[in-house]
Amino acid sequence: MVGFDSSMLTASLSAVSNNSDPIEDVYVSDSMGSEDSICTPDTLSEAGDDDAGMFEDPKLVLVTGGAGFVGSSVADALLARGDDVIIVDEVNDYYDTTIKRSNLASLVSRYGSERCKVYEGDICDVPFITAIFEEHKPEWIVHMAARAGVRPSIQDPFIYVHSNIEGTTRLLELARQHGCKSFAFASSSSVYGGSDKSLFSETDLVDHPVSPYAASKKACELLAHTYHHLYNLNIAALRFFTVYGPRGRPDMAPFKFIDAVARGREMQQFGDGSTSRDYTYITDIVDGVLRALDTPLGYQIYNLGRGEPTRLSRFINLVEANVGRKAIIRVCPEQPGDVPRTCADISKARRLLGYDPKVSFEDGIAATVAWYKATYMQPQQQTDAAATKVAAAAPAASVSANMVM
């Protein structure tokens, strides 16, 4: 079911309008209002060793942004391990909607519309999203929907306030009304702003965002903490560090560079090539998201990165080597809102979730180039040695190499 099935939700909508006092439904624990309810690394035992998963029974998981890059990959992994999924996505045209629709169609065709239900709409549309909660009563939520680009947020901050801040608040509000057990949402490494620390830690002060996008993610973290404090919701704020891989966003550097080099087109290099990013392969990110969802620990912020930054110049060299062609580079000034370097301290996610990123940047780029060639250049058998190596390294959430049809 791709598209908003209004008939299915009619009954729920009338039920919602009768529920005039949602405050009555609030789950209030003894620890309400107490900072003790926030589990800190010091108050917790080692939660994650090998297995993420305090709750191992099949779940019904609401995945917002499930048509997008990370959301569709998370939905795929949840479905593959036996959970059922409800996807909500407005399928906006921030990038080519055929990619997003292909992601949805692929999930539904492989897992069936009974196990993977898709609703197309805005998470800020109150009757729409409320009706979905009334209908399905999801207790497990992976909230990935957001406006995700840094530079476009400078052009139009208002849609970022809408989708990211209002949207997250709406979901938190519904989550607390419906007794959500675990709420994992995408924050971003961009909250660290222009930090010159060698490792970015969750305990760093992050009060100086340098783009509306970063500010919106920081605002989401603050609202999430507030909802934990008031209602004792279990919430994990996941600071992703530059995610790349198969199904990757076409507006992001990994896809753009591979695409430009493969087609022999000029590519823009912002800055002198000395900037660096902690690129994180999609299967490692998906593994971290599932571990966070499965391990509700009060309010937690986790860095999900790799902890090994790669310089832009090295990145381009790797793309050239894997594509088998030299890049045509136009050097441009660094862009406002961009940060010079990111590098995640992932010790907290390692300790509490058992998060352990497995895919090296070299293997990840090789696999991404293999996926790109298979998807966009020519049909070919998936026998590429690099792709095979990566799939073997990350069995928890392998992604199909031919997702965009």
Ligand X SMILES: NC(=O)c1ccc[n+]([C@@H]2O[C@H](COP(=O)([O-])OP(=O)(O)OC[C@H]3O[C@@H](n4cnc5c(N)ncnc54)[C@H](O)[C@@H]3O)[C@@H](O)[C@H]2O)c1
Residues that bind ligand X (CB under 6 A): 65, 67-71, 88-92, 94, 100, 122-124, 144-148, 163, 167, 186, 188, 240, 242-243, 249
Least Cβ distance, residue 144 to ligand X (angstroms): 4
Who's near 3: CB < 8 A, 6+ residues apart? 118, 119, 120
User: How many of the other CB atoms lie within 10 Å of CB of 303?
Assistant: 30
Least Cβ distance, residue 152 to ligand X (angstroms): 11
> Quick one: 68 or 307, whose CB is closer to ligand X?
68
Pairing of β 140-143 and β 60-64: parallel
Least Cβ distance, residue 32 to ligand X (angstroms): 28
Least Cβ distance, residue 301 to ligand X (angstroms): 13
Helix axes 282-294, 69-81, angle to 10 degrees: 60
> Quick one: 88 or 236, whose CB is closer to ligand X?
88
Least Cβ distance, residue 145 to ligand X (angstroms): 4
> Quick one: 286 or 318, whose CB is closer to ligand X?
286
Taking a C-beta distance cutoff of 8 angstroms, is the pair 242, 279 a contact? yes
Place of tokens 């823009």: 268
> Quick one: 122 or 284, whose CB is closer to ligand X?
122
Q: Which residue is nearest to ligand X (CB)?
A: 68
244 carries an active-site annotation: no
Q: Report d(CA 185, CA 169) in Å as an integer.
A: 12
Who's near 156: CB < 8 A, 6+ residues apart? none
> Quick one: 210 or 384, whose CB is closer to ligand X?
210
Q: How far is CA 177 from CA 181, 223, 355, in A?
A: 11, 16, 30
Catalytic residue among 192, 213, 281, 299: 213
Least Cβ distance, residue 143 to ligand X (angstroms): 8
> Quick one: 40 or 360, whose CB is closer to ligand X?
360
> Quick one: 147 or 228, whose CB is closer to ligand X?
147
Least Cβ distance, residue 363 to ligand X (angstroms): 18
> Quick one: 130 or 242, whose CB is closer to ligand X?
242
Q: Report d(CA 358, CA 19) in Å as an integer.
A: 47
Q: Report d(CA 272, CA 20) in Å as an integer.
A: 59
Place of tokens 């660290």: 192
User: How many of the other CB atoms lie within 10 Å of CB of 381?
Assistant: 6
List, by residue number, the catalytic residues. 213
